[in-house]
Amino acid sequence: MINVEGHQLGIFNVQGTFVTILNICPHEQAPICCGHIDGTTLSSSPGEFRWGREGEILRCPWHGWEFDLLTGKALVDKRRLRRYPTVVENEDIYVIL
């Protein structure tokens, strides 16, 4: 986590794509960057359990809400993480505020 102009930001490397988000869960304002990065269950037939999207889902530490790091969208409703454009040049990471 980094502090930029009074904002706490988390920068994540999601399978080679760098993603920057504001450290606030849109559900109840939890410090979302303290959550776990994992996968999630996928659509499947009754009685079948399929797991996927490993490393793409950020789970809120307070209530377990899941967010797609690549889009910022919540998996359960229309809320989204606040994302910032992120550019990598050579070995430097630039976040556009």
Cβ pair 10, 18 in contact under 8 A: no
Q: How many CA atoms lie within 13 A of 86 on its CB side?
A: 22
Position 1 scores a pLDDT of: 86
Cβ pair 9, 2 in contact under 8 A: yes
Number of domains in the chain: 1
| Spacing of C-alpha 34 from chain mean position | 11
**What tokens does 30 get?**
């939890």
Reported pTM = 0.91
The CA-atom distances, in angstroms, between 95 and each of 4, 30, 40, 44, 70 are 9, 22, 28, 37, 15
State the residue range of the domain holding 90.
Answer: 2-95
Cα(24)–Cα(94) distance, integer angstroms: 20
Digit-coded pLDDT (tens) for 6-15: 889 999 999 9
**What tokens does 20 get?**
């920057």
Q: Which CATH number belongs to the domain containing residue 50 in this structure?
A: 2.102.10.10
Position 70 scores a pLDDT of: 97
Percentages of the chain per state (helix, strand, coil), in multiples of 5: 5, 50, 45
Averaged pLDDT for residues 87-92: 94
Mean of pLDDT over the chain: 95
Place of tokens 């994992």: 38
